Amino acid sequence: MHSPDPPLPQAGTPAAQHAESARSNWLSEASGAFGDLGVLIPFVTAYLAIVGMSPQGVLMPIGLASIAAGLWFRTPFPVQPMKLVGASVILYSQAGIAMTPDIVVAAGLFTGVAWLALGLTGLAERFSAWIPREALLGVVMGLGFGFMLEGLRTMSAQPWGGALTLAIALVLLSRPAIPTMLVLLAGGALASLLAGASVALVEFAPALTLPAFAWPTLSWRALEIGVLLLALPQLPLTFGNALFAVVDENNRRFPAAPTNERTVALSTGAMNVVSSAMGGIPLCHGAGGMAAQTRFGARSGRAPVILGTTLLALGLVFADAVAALFALVPPAVLGAILFLAGLQLALGSREPGGEKVDRFVVLATAGIAVWHAGLAVLFGVLAYHATRRGWIRL
């Protein structure tokens, strides 16, 4: 005999309130999942547009690592590109040193093995005491300037478009609910299409693509450059933001799901070994990423699982579409994205406030002054008054 269907929850009843709360939680987690795109998109943009890495090789490892982090840590535990490696790629490219995908893969492989060793031996905590914070801040600031200069160089191909894009971006950054970098990418691609750029619709059709196993193609030269120029300089920086700071942030915000340095070190090692095998980029966990996700509503491991599933699907089924999208992005928009990423890198990870606004004006003006002193004066005056009137909020 067929049993009757259970009655639907009536409005106002505890069951209805629970169902509404569950929907609200999922919406909050989905919103928080994409709260860190401001960091992810610029570095992915640089790796795809400047180094020429494959979209599936970059996106799929980040997706897998995000899913694993969400399921294991059960908190909004972020997975991010290693910032110093990404910025170094830009700097060395400016200096005429070709940064190939193999070099980036080699850096990721060494990073993975190193962090597995540090986690298994317990040396991670001991080494951290030898690393002065002042030295790390100086390195990060310098690399941030390198990113900014690459952005300015790229924008110089379309100076008016770059200036307009930067102005729009600064307005959008004052509204945290808007994914600024994603809007810039989509807007730039649309502008190119409206200007007459052509793209084959077949590139946007779903097509299953798998990354190739990257280790057999590595050369000793790629390993040498990747380790010495990219991986080793990143190592001390990872101790601070991507190990101790993220453990402290997680345990402070989510005391019911604590973690420790050894677990995070092993996680960093494992995801870099997998990423390098798939032709991906060096990855880490960052305290800033957790703060960004929780700011937009993430409260559990569901947020990184949602982001990871999205990136995995894009890399697995829509890699050609991602490549086509980035090919449509005009230099003005690409340069603005790189400039803003370098500015955020130079600003550091301090809490918002008056001091951060002042540093924003100083650093952005200094970066532009290296390229064009007259425009830097104009930007500095406008930025100062815009921040004082609340038109730009960081």
Q: What is the pLDDT of residues 90-104, one digit of tens each?
A: 778 777 788 899 999
Q: Compute the distance between CA of residue 286 and CA of residue 283 in angstroms, rounded to an integer.
A: 10
Percent of the chain with pLDDT over 70: 76
Whether 47 and 58 have beta carbons less than 8 Å apart is answered as yes
For residue 25, pLDDT beyond 90 = no
Round the average pLDDT of the chain to a whole number and report it. 78
Q: What is the pLDDT of residues 211-251, one digit of tens each?
A: 889 999 999 999 999 999 899 888 877 776 678 778 878 88
Please report, in angstroms and rounded to a whole number, the separation of the first and last CA atoms in the chain: 63
Containing 81, the helix (H) or strand (E) segment is strand 80-81
Q: What confidence tier does 166 reach under pLDDT thresholds 50, 70, 90?
A: confident
Whether 230 and 93 have beta carbons less than 8 Å apart is answered as no
Q: Compute the distance between CA of residue 37 and CA of residue 271 in angstroms, rounded to an integer.
A: 19
For residue 108, pLDDT beyond 50 = yes
124-138, 157-171, 340-354: which has the highest mean pLDDT?
Answer: 157-171
For residue 17, pLDDT beyond 60 = no
- Given this model, what pLDDT does residue 34 score? 75
Least reliable range by pLDDT among 82-86, 217-221, 332-336, 348-352: 348-352
- Given this model, what pLDDT does residue 105 score? 96
* Mean pLDDT value of segment 149-174: 81
Total Cβ atoms within 10 A of residue 324:
18
For residue 5, pLDDT beyond 70 = no
Task: Find all residues with CB under 8 Å of 4, minimum gap 6, and list them.
Answer: none
- Given this model, what pLDDT does residue 321 score? 81
Q: What confidence tier does 357 reach under pLDDT thresholds 50, 70, 90?
A: low
Higher pLDDT, 101 or 4: 101
- Given this model, what pLDDT does residue 371 score? 63
Whether 141 and 347 have beta carbons less than 8 Å apart is answered as no
Q: Compute the distance between CA of residue 335 and CA of residue 153 in angstroms, rounded to an integer.
A: 7
